[in-house]
């Protein structure tokens, strides 16, 4: 069986809507992610309002896809839900990747737009969307139906794999078997 490899980020979308069922599947996958101590610190703001989209685009000028795509989801981390200080970032990253994987499974296209730890973006998005201070905007995932099919890129690199000790690296295509010192 082939490994699960993420398809490339999608930056161009058709004008087909993302329906509520698809949004629910994305959220179910995102909330199924692992988290430190099972703290599940996430919240999700679904953005489909056209005016809000263009105001978000003003905050994130390079994210031209926000106004093109039918929906965006802002993942946020609730500081009050932390059991282990600092781990909310890792939890939210795991959740974001789960959401992206589900988008791929559904045949949707998506892109992760950085919010945290860029203070200006965190502040501006939090203010625009009335997010309470203890909830930190983490990542904006823009989602839609891809305008064209994208292929997964095979990025396996055996020089990044170390067997038992650092100096022992794999030299086979799939990374198992022969090793060299
Ligand atoms: C933490 C993180 C932040 C990212 N932020 C942005 C961003 O702000 N703008 C953007 O265009 N792409 C962003 N991306 C997408 C990356 O640019 C993209 O994943 C990377 O170039 C690899 O390309 P691929 O996803 O097509 O394989 C981000 C990805 C990650 C994981």
Model confidence at 178: pLDDT above 50: no
Give Dmax (Cα) for the chain.
58
pLDDT score for 172: 57
Which residues have any ligand 1 atom within 6 Å of their CB? 8-9, 62, 111-114, 153
Is there a contact between 122 and 136 (Cβ–Cβ < 8 Å)?
yes
What is the pLDDT averaged over residues 74-86? 97
pLDDT of residue 177: 43
Q: Return the percentage of the chain with pLDDT > 70, whole number.
A: 93
pLDDT by residue (tens digit) across 54-76? 999 999 988 999 999 999 999 99
Token reading at 178: 């022969």
The CA 10 to ligand 1 mean position distance, Å, reads 10
Q: Which of 7, 9, 89 to mutate to test the pocket of ligand 1 (most atoms within 8 A of CB)?
A: 9
Please check the confidence at residue 174 and state whether its pLDDT lies above 80: no
Q: Are 139 and 116 in contact (CB under 8 A)?
A: yes
CA distance 153 to 13: 20
Q: Do 6 and 101 form a contact (C-beta atoms < 8 A)? A: yes
**What Rg do the C-alpha atoms of the chain give, in angstroms?**
18
pLDDT tens by residue, 2-15: 788 877 789 999 98
Chain centroid, CA 15 distance in Å? 21
For residue 51, what are its two tokens? 């005016």
DSSP conformational letter for 83: S
Range 34-38 average pLDDT: 98
Distance 168 CA to ligand 1 centre (A): 31
45 pLDDT exceeds 50?
Answer: yes
Mean pLDDT of the chain: 92
Ligand 1, atom 21, lies closest to the CA of: 9
| Whole-number pLDDT of residue 169 | 82
Interval 128-159: pLDDT, tens: 999 999 999 999 999 999 998 888 889 999 99
- Cα–Cα separations (whole angstroms), residue 163 to 172, 173, 180: 12, 15, 9
**Nearest alpha carbon to residue 96 among 163, 36, 142, 152:** 142
Nearest residue (by CA) to ligand 1, atom 10, is 113
* DSSP structure class, residue 6: P
Position 148 scores a pLDDT of 86
pLDDT digits (tens, 9 = 90+) for 93-109: 999 999 999 999 999 99
d(CA 151, CA 69): 20
At how many degrees (to 10) do helices 50-59 and 119-128 cross? 160
Query: Which H/E stretch holds residue 65?
Result: helix 65-68
Does the pLDDT of residue 24 top 50, yes or no? yes
Mutate to test the pocket of ligand 1, among 10, 72, 111, 156 (most ligand atoms within 8 A of CB): 111
Helix (H, G, I), strand (E, B) or coil at 109: strand
C-alpha 80 to ligand 1 mean position (Å): 28
Atom number in ligand 1 closest to CA 93: 1
Which residue's CA lies nearest to atom 7 of ligand 1?
113
Ligand 1: which atom is nearest the Cα of residue 150? 26
């Amino acid at each position: 069986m082939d490994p699960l490899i993420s398809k490339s980020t999608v930056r161009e979308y058709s004008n087909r809507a993302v329906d509520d069922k698809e949004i629910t599947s994305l959220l179910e996958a995102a909330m199924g992610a692992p988290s430190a101590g099972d703290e599940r610190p996430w919240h999700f703001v679904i953005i489909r309002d056209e005016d809000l989209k263009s105001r978000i685009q003003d905050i994130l000028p390079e994210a031209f896809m926000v106004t093109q795509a039918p929906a965006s989801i802002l993942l946020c981390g609730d500081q009050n839900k932390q059991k282990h200080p600092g781990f909310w970032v890792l939890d939210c990253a795991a959740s974001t990747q789960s959401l992206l994987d589900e988008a791929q499974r559904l045949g949707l296209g998506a892109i992760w737009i950085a919010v945290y730890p860029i203070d200006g973006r965190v502040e501006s998005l939090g203010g625009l969307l009335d997010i309470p201070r203890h909830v930190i905007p983490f990542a904006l995932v823009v989602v839609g139906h891809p305008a064209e099919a994208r292929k997964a890129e095979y990025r396996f690199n055996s020089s990044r794999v170390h067997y038992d000790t650092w100096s022992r690296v794999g030299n086979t295509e799939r990374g198992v078997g022969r090793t060299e010192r």
